[in-house]
Amino acid sequence: MNDIFHACRVGDLTLLHQLVAQRPELVNEVSPKGYPPLVLATYSDQLEIATYLLDHEANVDLRDASGNTALMGAVFKRLEKQITLLLQNGADTNMQNHNGATALTYAATFGNKEITQQLLLAGANPALADVRELTPLAHARNQGNKEVVELLEAYENQ
C-alpha cells in the first residue's frame, strides 16, 4: 500500500516525501475511514512524520471521524513528545469531539497530572463540559485521580 495514510502509520518518511512532493495537499486529506494523516502519525507515535506534516502545512486541528484531533489522540496515549510538538504548533486545547470531550478531559480521566498541567498552561479551559455535562474535574473525581483533582481545584481557585 503506497499511500500517505500508510506512510504516516508506519513512519515511512521517504514515501511521505515523495507523495507530498507530488501533491502537497495530501497533508490535509482524510482517509476513507475518516483519519487525517496527522492524527494517524500522532496516534502511531511517529514524531518525525508528525513534524514533517506540520512543517508542510498540515492543519494541526483537523479532526477524525469521531471529532478527535491529533492532540486528543496524543493525550489519550500519553505521548508527551507528540503533545509538546502539537502545542508548539498551535493545537487548540479547547476543541471538543462529538462527545464534547477535550484533550483536558482525557488527561483528567486518565489521571495524568503532568499532561493536565501542560494543557492548562497552554490555555485549556477546565470548565468545558462534555455531552453528559461533566467537566474534566468531574471525570478526575469519578476516576479517583486525586492528584489531578487537586490540580484542577487549585486552578479553579486562582
String of DSSP letters for 32-58: TTS--HHHHHHHTT-HHHHHHHHHTT-
Per-residue pLDDT reduced to its tens digit, 89-113: 999 999 999 999 999 999 999 999 9
Question: What's the one-letter identity of residue 100?
Answer: G
Model pLDDT, residue 141? 96
Could you tell me if 87 and 44 lie in one domain? yes
Closest among 83, 7, 89, 75 to 40, alpha carbons compared: 7
Is the entire prediction scored with pTM above 0.85?
yes
Grid coordinates in use for 54? Answer: 506540520
End position of a domain, from candidates 41, 63, 92: 92
* pLDDT at res. 158: 74
**Could you tell me if 110 and 139 lie in one domain?**
yes
Asked if residue 65 lies in contact with residue 35, where contact means CB atoms within 8 angstroms, the answer is: yes
Helix (H) or strand (E) holding 114: helix 113-121
Contact between 104 and 120 (Cβ < 8 Å): yes
Contacts of 27 (CB under 8 A, 6+ apart): 4, 20, 37, 38, 53, 56, 57, 58
Structural domains counted in the chain: 2
| pLDDT score at 96 | 98
pLDDT reported for residue 156: 81
Q: Are 79 and 10 in a shared domain?
A: yes
**Regions of the chain where pLDDT drops below 50:** 1
